Amino acid sequence: MAKVSGEAEDPRVARTRRDVIRASATSLLEEGWGATTHAEVARRAGYSKATIYAHWPTSVDLMRDAIAQICADAPHPPTSGDLRQDLHDALSRLALTLSEGRYDRLMAGVIERAAHDEGARGLRDQLYETATVDLRGVLTAHLRPDDVEPVLAMLAGAVLVRASYEGRAVDSAFIADIIARALDRAAPKGS
C-alpha cells in the first residue's frame, strides 16, 4: 500500500489502512497467527476480503503491519537510573505481558513460521527487540558491552520460562533473585 513520495495519502485509504491494521493486531493478539486470516480481518474491520488481499496479498504482509502496530503501541516508561530497580520494573512488565497469554500466542505463530519463512524471521526479531528494548537499554547504560547480551538472555529467558513454559507466577522475589544471579558475574561499565 505504498504511495508516491510527496503525494498526500487519500483519507479513505488512510482510514482503511488504519482500520485493517488495528483489526489485524487485535486478532493476532487475541487469537494468534493461525486465526488471523484475511477473512477474519475483513470481518473485524468491516471491509471486503478483496480489499484486504489487494493491499496485503499474503499473511506475512498482513502480519508485518499488525506486528509493527503492536510494537509501536508497546509502552516504554522512563527509567530511574538505578540498575536493579529499573531491571526489576522492566522484568515485571515483561512478566505481566507474558501472564496475559497474548504474547505467547503471537510468538508461537511467528516462531513456527520463522523456521521456513524469511519474512517471519524478521517479524520474530522485531518482536524480540520490542519485548527486550527496555532491558537492553538499562543493561547498556550500566554494564560493559560484552556483558549486555548474555545478561539480557539470562533475565528475559528466566521470565519467559517461568511464565510461559512453567505457567507459574513471576513474583517480585523471583525477579530479584534472577537479577542478583545474572549480575553476579557481570562487570559495571568502565571497569
Q: What is the pLDDT of residues 59-100, one digit of tens each?
A: 888 988 998 888 888 777 888 999 999 999 999 998 988 888
Q: What is the pTM of this model?
A: 0.78
Is residue 1 over pLDDT 50? no
Choice among 87-96, 100-109, 118-127 with the minimum mean pLDDT: 100-109
Q: What are phi and psi of 157, to 5 degrees?
A: -65, -40
Average the pLDDT over 114-129 and give the result: 89
Cβ density class 44-80: b for 16+ within 10 Å, e for less: bbebeeebbeebbeebbbbbbbbbebbbeeeeeeebe
Is residue 104 over pLDDT 80? no
Question: 167: buried, middle or exposed (CB in 10 Å: 19+, 13-18, 0-12)?
Answer: exposed
Is residue 120 over pLDDT 50? yes
CA distance 62 to 50: 13
How confident is the model at residue 8, as a pLDDT? Answer: 74
Neighbours of 147 (CB within 10 A): 19
The fold adopted by the segment(s) 11-70 is Arc Repressor Mutant, subunit A (1.10.10)
Is residue 3 over pLDDT 60? no
First-to-last C-alpha distance (Å) of the chain: 50
- The segment(s) of the chain belonging to CATH 1.10.10.60 are 11-70
Is residue 107 over pLDDT 90? no
Q: How confident is the model at residue 5 (pLDDT cuts 50, 70, 90)?
A: low
